[in-house]
């Protein structure tokens, strides 16, 4: 069985940032990754300083390449399925049957978007159906767009999108009505449930259950829910927030000593590449700092 100082579970923005910091701290580190980053369906990643517009896979490939500078870091494309606290270390078990131990754990397993069950939504998610004006709004600004959301969420998202797109149609998909009156802004609201969304030319066609259809360049869509990949955190005894994210302090320490969580997993809704990378970096600083203290105080 291999023994590591730090095991990082999840090798995307948060996990690879943590790995770089662990490597630079000369800590024996293993990163486990199943290569399913949340933004995989998007062609370009935006709002990441110096890398604006880069394909998400390329961004992570650069990170993995940089990490090769640090020989104490290894990456394994294996899924961690079990995590437990032993007497003075953690024990991890992977889907392929490998077992490793580590003195500190950084969880960076992200979240999964649960999409509304609309035909075509999954296929167009990340390309012509987007989730966030900060990530993908610039590319479709000043064009006719739809917003698929209802109730309070629709109102809050409309405020963000309207600044970029005055030609905005809100589709509540048969869901909760908007409480606030926004018709005076020229925003159209359609309550009829959506039957399907399909690509058409450079844009999309949204067909409703009553047979009518509208054409737009793209749609923003509120996800049905976020599924936090928190199974390992729960196994380790970490407390979760009401939203389901892993509860952390300002240094990304979970409620279990020796376990940190970073990236989307560690916050109910602040989900951006730069925030995930910053969290991974800080978690690795705090984890390596703790190991340095233990080693320093143990030695003569």
Q: What are the CA-CA distances from residue 134 to residues 45, 52, 185, 266, 275 (Å)?
A: 11, 12, 21, 20, 13
CB atoms within 10 A of CB 110: 23
Contact 32, 257 (CB under 8 A): no
State in angstroms the smallest separation of the CB of 116 from ligand FAD.
Answer: 14
Beta carbon nearer to ligand FAD, 110 or 208: 110
Residue with tokens 């069985």: 1
181: burial class by Cβ within 10 Å (0-12, 13-18, 19+)?
exposed
Beta carbon nearer to ligand FAD, 208 or 229: 229
The residues that touch ligand FAD, with contacts defined as CB under 6 A, are: 9-15, 32-39, 41-42, 45-48, 79-80, 108-110, 113, 126, 131, 135, 229, 232, 263-265, 271-274, 276
State in angstroms the smallest separation of the CB of 195 from ligand FAD.
Answer: 23
Report which residue's Cβ sits closest to ligand FAD: 263
**Residue 19, phi then psi, degrees to nearest 5:** -65, -40
Beta carbon nearer to ligand FAD, 55 or 203: 55
Distance of CA 103 to the CA centre of its chain: 26
State in angstroms the smallest separation of the CB of 143 from ligand FAD.
Answer: 18
State in angstroms the smallest separation of the CB of 238 from ligand FAD.
Answer: 14
State in angstroms the smallest separation of the CB of 4 from ligand FAD.
Answer: 15
Contact 7, 29 (CB under 8 A): yes
Q: Encoding tokens for residue 292?
A: 């340095």
Beta carbon nearer to ligand FAD, 31 or 187: 31
Beta carbon nearer to ligand FAD, 118 or 265: 265
Residue among 59, 139, 99, 93 nearest 231 (CA): 93
Beta carbon nearer to ligand FAD, 180 or 231: 231
State in angstroms the smallest separation of the CB of 86 from ligand FAD.
Answer: 19
């Amino acid at each position: 069985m291999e023994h590591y100082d730090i095991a990082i579970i999840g090798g995307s923005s948060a996990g690879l940032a943590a790995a770089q910091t662990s490597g630079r701290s000369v800590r024996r580190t293993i990163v486990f990754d199943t290569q399913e980053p949340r933004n995989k369906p998007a062609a370009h990643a935006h709002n990441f300083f110096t890398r604006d517009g880069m394909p998400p896979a390329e961004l992570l490939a650069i990170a993995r390449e940089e990490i090769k500078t640090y020989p104490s870091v290894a990456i394994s494309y294996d899924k961690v399925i079990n995590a437990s606290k032993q007497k003075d270390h953690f024990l991890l078990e992977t889907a392929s049957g490998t077992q490793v131990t580590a003195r500190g754990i950084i969880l960076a397993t992200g979240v999964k978007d649960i999409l509304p069950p609309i035909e075509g939504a999954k296929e167009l998610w990340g390309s012509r159906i987007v989730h966030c004006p900060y990530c993908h709004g610039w590319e479709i600004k000043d064009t006719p767009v739809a917003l698929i959301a209802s109730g309070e969420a629709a109102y809050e998202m409309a405020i963000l999108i309207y600044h970029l797109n005055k030609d905005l149609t809100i589709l509540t998909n048969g869901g909760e009505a908007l409480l606030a009156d926004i018709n005076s802004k020229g925003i159209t609201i359609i309550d009829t449930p959506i039957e399907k969304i399909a690509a058409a030319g450079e844009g999309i066609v949204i067909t409703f259950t009553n047979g009518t259809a509208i054409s737009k360049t793209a749609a923003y869509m509120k996800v049905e829910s976020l599924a936090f990949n928190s199974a390992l955190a729960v196994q380790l005894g970490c407390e979760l927030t009401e939203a389901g994210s892993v509860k952390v302090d300002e240094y990304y320490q979970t409620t279990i000593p020796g376990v940190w969580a970073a990236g989307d997993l560690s916050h109910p809704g602040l989900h951006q590449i730069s925030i995930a990378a910053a969290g991974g970096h800080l978690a690795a600083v705090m984890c390596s700092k703790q190991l340095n203290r233990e080693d320093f105080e143990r030695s003569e």
